[in-house]
Chains A and B, each alone.
Chain A
């Protein structure tokens, strides 16, 4: 909608409102009108027809606070005429200072006037109850103060968080809201789990939305996971309504030191666009523009921040730490039971050990009877039943299958569980009483006839008042197994399976295939190897012939054999027929580095057509040159 249309709409509404002023009405109601001292009631003033809101005069003995105000417009059109009506409702919170009857005088606005109201305030109970009040009572609900539970003996009760931070006054709430962190105390021990309440208050007078969960930062604490569905309520602070999101969770102190908790909550608010003040527009125009601006407000991402008071985390004392202390911090009680209590040797018994209380249940552990040679024990099943939503209070139950190994046992031994009590600042140990049990263990009976009734076994319990064991119905047996172990679908041996037998052929096939491949590969390499061997043999023969010619002082044959040897070497290296290699090939492939070889080739050609005479030393030098060339080419 552009500015021109806003102005036209505002003009129409202004004209309509001006026309309605003449028919203005003011209505005032108070509900309830009979209350007790200490209670509050609500005064509602409704103005219609365009009149301005009347002022409520101060009344001795009554504290009157303005609450919410709402204005509504409606347009009615039948095609030929159009009418506009407006209605403004203001609520006030009225709290009497003393008992008695109070009169709220008639409220006047323009030409309209309300009726006078009477409020009766009783000295004690008997008036209207809080529950009878309007649901949007303006008084802030009284802050629930739940005392810490005295950690003495008896049933364990979870101490709820106590508000160590008072309800934030209006000036601390910021423009849009605030975050409150409610903790039961300020001093913790390392490993201690404590309930925490996180309240995010956002003004209901601002259009807002929540983008994410609160973000927690602290060096000394970790926070449990926050639920995506917190409790949502409306609370009033200094008469202003706030939407309150409350998370009930728990945090754990992870290391000693002084820390604070910091919580940030991202929210989105819609900021109304305000019309600038100025003398060129009148108040009605500004009101209309602001109303339209509010409808078109700008979204803004902001973060609410909350910081707790300084918290201290103390290390767990080393003095007096029990050997079986597993890190449990809190207040716990333990009890144990066994079922059945009348058994034969070797029969399984379920030992149940329950630890109830509040604290860090993740550190509540027990070895139960493991290590007791009188009992065969198995790994215990663990179960935790939380009494709250955060796992702070509840019961952890261990169920361990145990088997008595001899008939002299009369009781399941007592069990100990140690923990650190942060209230008493000392370690404590819960000890359960022994559980009487009757174990029947008879010596092996002589073999009776098949299916004959078996002899009863003697009762071996030595307790003063032992429960009677049931009659044994058979000979002594090795004890039952608790765990099923590995299973097979059939008792038939696997080697009778055709698939298994066929599988055994695979390694053999692979071996034979591999060997065949190797054989083929080697035969493919054989010709090359044979050629190499023949070339080396020929070279050796030519060198021997060189030596013989050198010994006979025959330079011509010497160079011919030298050339032949070099041809063999180059022929192998260049993959050419040796006799086809000429000086031209030497020049092309060796260039300047083939000068000596070229000379040998030329000397050999010269020796074929003329006598060639060289001294013995020269032949010796040429031999070294040729041998060196052969070796060089071999590389």
Chain B
């Protein structure tokens, strides 16, 4: 029993220790100006421990230091997906977009409000509100004498639930976002290069596009100007994958 407990404790503690050591190494390489090493180390941290906004943010910084702004934008966008209203991430994203020469995105008020927490955060808040709403409705049937309070509770829960759903709906627009990471990107009019190689439009590296649909190795993408075209999957990276 004791051995089992020690084993379980080790399984819990060791990954945490490993994560701390890896992030320290990555930051050490960054501080020493070894940005390529730092990038590899941050990617290793993400691969080992999963996505986290701070590590994605640091990864974006390391890409900026190397002048790889498209990848930096992608990393910042992913960090923002997890921490939507993080001012540091937004600031560095704007900086990277300026450096890349792409449009600096302005966030509408609704998107800012929805960014009070991450999509997952809203999902869990909505889940809790939905559960409490059901509890209130049931208790109201059990204790009709307290139906007033319970009805008020149910209304509050319903309000929170609607807010959560609305926030998720707003934030879910980012599910289709993708960043152009190729240095010479080209959106074609057709996903059949052999049949039609006419360029639809040429997005800027680092530009953020919307993915409309996929066909084999091509993605139909569109920009804010309403232009659409087919891009090879290697030229563009979805923010959420």
Q: How far apart are the CA atoms of A487 and B20 in the complex, in Å?
A: 13
Asked whether, in the complex, the Cβ of B130 is within 8 Å of the Cβ of A447, the reply is no
Q: Which residue on chain A has the smallest CB distance to residue B57? A: A481
A488-B82, A493-B172 are known contacts. Are A510 and B134 too (CB-CB below 8 A)? Answer: yes
Among A33-41, A255-263, A467-475, A597-605, the stretch in contact with B: A467-475
In the complex, the answer to whether B51 meets A488 with C-beta atoms within 8 Å is yes
Known: A450-B205, A473-B33, A475-B64. A485 touches B95 (CB 8 A): no
Q: Which residues 461-484 of A sit at the B interface, judged by CB distance below 8 A?
A: 470, 473-484
Q: A492 contacts B54, CB within 8 Å? A: no
Whole-angstrom distance between the alpha carbons of A543 and B241 in the complex? 82
| CA gap between A396 and B28 in the complex, in Å | 22
Query: Does any Cβ of A come within 8 Å of B235's Cβ?
Result: no
Collect the chain B residues with CB atoms within 8 Å of residue A492's CB. Answer: 240-241
Q: CA–CA, A475 to B93, complex, Å?
A: 12
Nearest B residue to A453 by beta-carbon distance? B67
Interface residues of B in 68-125 (CB under 8 A from A): 68-70, 78, 81-82, 87-89, 91-92, 95, 98-101, 119-120, 123-124
> Which of the listed residues A449, A486, A500, A503 has the most CB atoms from chain B within 10 Å of its own CB?
A486
Point out the residues of chain A lying under 8 angstroms from B95, CB to CB. Answer: 444, 475-477
Task: Assess whether B19 is interfacial by the CB under 8 Å rule.
Answer: yes
Q: Which of B4-12, B137-145, B187-195, B210-218 contacts A (4 or more CB under 8 A)?
A: B137-145
Cβ 8 A contact of B64, one of A347, A349, A470, A477 = A477
Contacting residues of chain A (284-312) with chain B, CB-CB under 8 angstroms: none
A433 within 8 A of B: no
By a CB distance below 8 angstroms, the chain A residues around B135 are 507, 511
Residues of A within 8 A of B30 (CB): 347-348, 480
Pick the contact of B54 from A448, A477, A481, A490 — CB < 8 Å?
A481
Question: Does B55 reach chain A (CB closer than 8 Å)?
Answer: yes
**Cβ of A6 < 8 Å from any Cβ of B?**
no
Minimum CB–CB distance from B122 to chain A (whole Å) comes to 9
Interface flags, A436-451, vs B, CB<8A=1, else 0:
0000000010011111
Shortest beta-carbon distance, A209 to chain B, in Å? Answer: 29
Q: Are B138 and A451 in contact (CB under 8 A)?
A: no
A491 near B123 with CB under 8 A, answer no
Which residue in B82, B92, B127 is a CB contact (below 8 Å) of A491? B82
B68 touches A507 (CB 8 A): no
A510: nearest residue on chain B (CB-CB)? B134
The verdict on A518 contacting chain B, using a C-beta distance below 8 Å, is: yes
Q: Are the CB atoms of B31 and A347 closer together than 8 Å?
A: yes
Decide if B183 is an interface residue (CB 8 Å cutoff).
yes
Q: Mark B49-61, 1 if CB is under 8 A from A, else 0.
A: 1111111011001
Q: Are A484 and B142 in contact (CB under 8 A)?
A: no
With the chains together, A448 CA to B64 CA distance in Å?
A: 12
Note all chain A residues with C-beta closer than 8 A to B23: 482-484
Does residue A454 face the partner (Cβ distance < 8 Å to B)? yes
Q: A340-B32, A450-B206, A487-B52 are in contact. List 13 more A-B contacts (CB 8 A).
A: A340-B31, A447-B98, A447-B100, A473-B67, A476-B95, A479-B88, A481-B55, A481-B58, A483-B23, A490-B241, A493-B119, A500-B123, A511-B134
By a beta-carbon cutoff of 8 Å, the part of chain A in contact with chain B is 340, 343, 347-350, 401, 444, 447-454, 470, 473-495, 500, 503-504, 507-508, 510-511, 514-515, 518
